[in-house]
Amino acid sequence: MTYHPKSDFLRVMIERGFLADCTDYQGLDDALIAGVVPTYIGYDATAKSLHVGHLLNIMMLRWLQKTGHKPITLMGGGTTKVGDPSFKADERPLLSQDVIDQNISGMQQVFAKYLEYGDGPTDAIMLNNAEWLDGLNYLEFLRDIGRHFSVNRMLSFESVKSRLDREQSLSFLEFNYMILQAYDFLELNRRYGCLLQMGGSDQWGNIVNGIDLTRRVIDNQIFGLTSPLLATSDGKKMGKSEGGAVWLNADMLSAYEFWQFWRNTTDADVGRFLKLYTELPVEECDRLGALAGSEINDAKIILANEVTTLCHGADAAAAAEATAREVFEKGGVGDDLPTLTLTAEDIGDGISVVQLIVRSGLAKSGKDAKRLIAENGAKLDDQPLTEMRIFDAAALASPIKLSAGKKRHALVKLAD
């Protein structure tokens, strides 16, 4: 990246590693200097919480606001009914309106932690594209909007081409998604003066479509900026852990487990993740990322604390670190560990350790739990678990600690 921006926002994007591509560096830089640039990122409401995979572009919106511009978080109440086909092997299951509304409510809780919402010039606003999509007249939409799209060009986009090259079905419903996303950008510019759309680099084609459509329909200049699609240095998709998605809502993933995810970052990723997911100065991120040997673990704790503080608050980060020290350094049982609480009815005549491992989230299935035990990866109160034990209520009168490998732990206890 050789462009040297004058605007604070573009400088931060480049210095910290957020920028993959931009439709017009000079034009966007000039707009950012000239005044407040309303900027949107769209989020389809496919789950009750956002996850770590979304955190990169949430941080982009946070930096946008910190540098004097206006974030727009666009909820896909309309587009979720269609489903984005980008780089997916199968069509997404269609969700009911009630489920979409519940998902939007859960996702809103996350944004409030990172952005300041309100009525001021740089306060964030939250919109729902159902506002303009739900009432569309199909024939008018085809005539006024559809005529600007070339099917030949749409078929050339990588997200569509990759699906067709694998000879996987792409429904007409999904094929319409990119038209609807382009229309979102047009409507946001028309209604709210939105000048910039950001997203992952897999959204490049959709973003360019919106810019082109807006120019054709109302002759306004708008911009697009994409971030790299992140994978960890060992090739894993960012935001996935052994237990599944790393959610940002505490009711779907505890603050301790969230903290632990970041503490377990691969050495080679520490410096890069500090720049992307914390607000520490770039020089400090580079210094911490260059630490070697056991010192890199101190940098990982700083990373975990900084990211957890932003998402869950300073108290939750401190409690998670204290629990980790208790569990890992002293071999104790930390208060903040994920906990499975059982009633006498749950236990009945007895409950197997395999069921406990699954129900506490340390394995996805009984088969996985049995394999964990067979491969000596399971521990009970820090001692190797070598047999398929059955626990009755008396055996669980005091809490027990289950472990899967060295890094994943849970408590099992009886309800009071």
Question: Six-digit token pair at 214?
Answer: 């807006």
Angstrom CA distances, 204 to 127, 174, 208, stand at: 22, 17, 6
- Do residues 387 and 375 lie in contact, with contact meaning Cβ atoms separated by under 8 Å? no
Overall average pLDDT of the 403-410 stretch: 76
Which position has the higher pLDDT, 380 or 319? 319
**Predicted local distance difference test score (pLDDT) of residue 17:** 96
- Do residues 385 and 378 lie in contact, with contact meaning Cβ atoms separated by under 8 Å? yes
Which residue type does 380 have? L
Overall average pLDDT of the 164-177 stretch: 75
Angstrom CA distances, 208 to 18, 21, 149, 202, stand at: 19, 12, 12, 12
Overall average pLDDT of the 383-392 stretch: 74
pLDDT greater than 70 at residue 98: yes
pLDDT greater than 70 at residue 95: yes
pTM, 2 dp = 0.78
Percentage of the chain beyond pLDDT 90 is: 48
C-alpha to C-alpha distance for 235 and 246, rounded to whole angstroms: 17
C-alpha to C-alpha distance for 276 and 20, rounded to whole angstroms: 13
Name the pLDDT band for 283 (thresholds 50, 70, 90): very high
Name the pLDDT band for 88 (thresholds 50, 70, 90): very low
Which position has the higher pLDDT, 405 or 299? 299
C-alpha to C-alpha distance for 365 and 108, rounded to whole angstroms: 32
pLDDT greater than 60 at residue 92: no
Q: Which residues partner with 363 through β-bridges?
A: none
Q: pLDDT, tens digit, for every residue of 221-242?
A: 999 999 998 887 777 777 665 5
C-alpha to C-alpha distance for 195 and 319, rounded to whole angstroms: 42
Residue in the structure block whose two tokens are 């052994």: 242
C-alpha to C-alpha distance for 391 and 321, rounded to whole angstroms: 31
- Do residues 70 and 121 lie in contact, with contact meaning Cβ atoms separated by under 8 Å? yes
User: Most confidently modeled of 10-19, 340-349, 371-380?
Assistant: 10-19
**Which of 164, 157, 238, 148 minimizes the C-alpha distance to 204?**
157
- Do residues 50 and 112 lie in contact, with contact meaning Cβ atoms separated by under 8 Å? no
- Do residues 117 and 125 lie in contact, with contact meaning Cβ atoms separated by under 8 Å? yes
**Predicted local distance difference test score (pLDDT) of residue 400:** 74
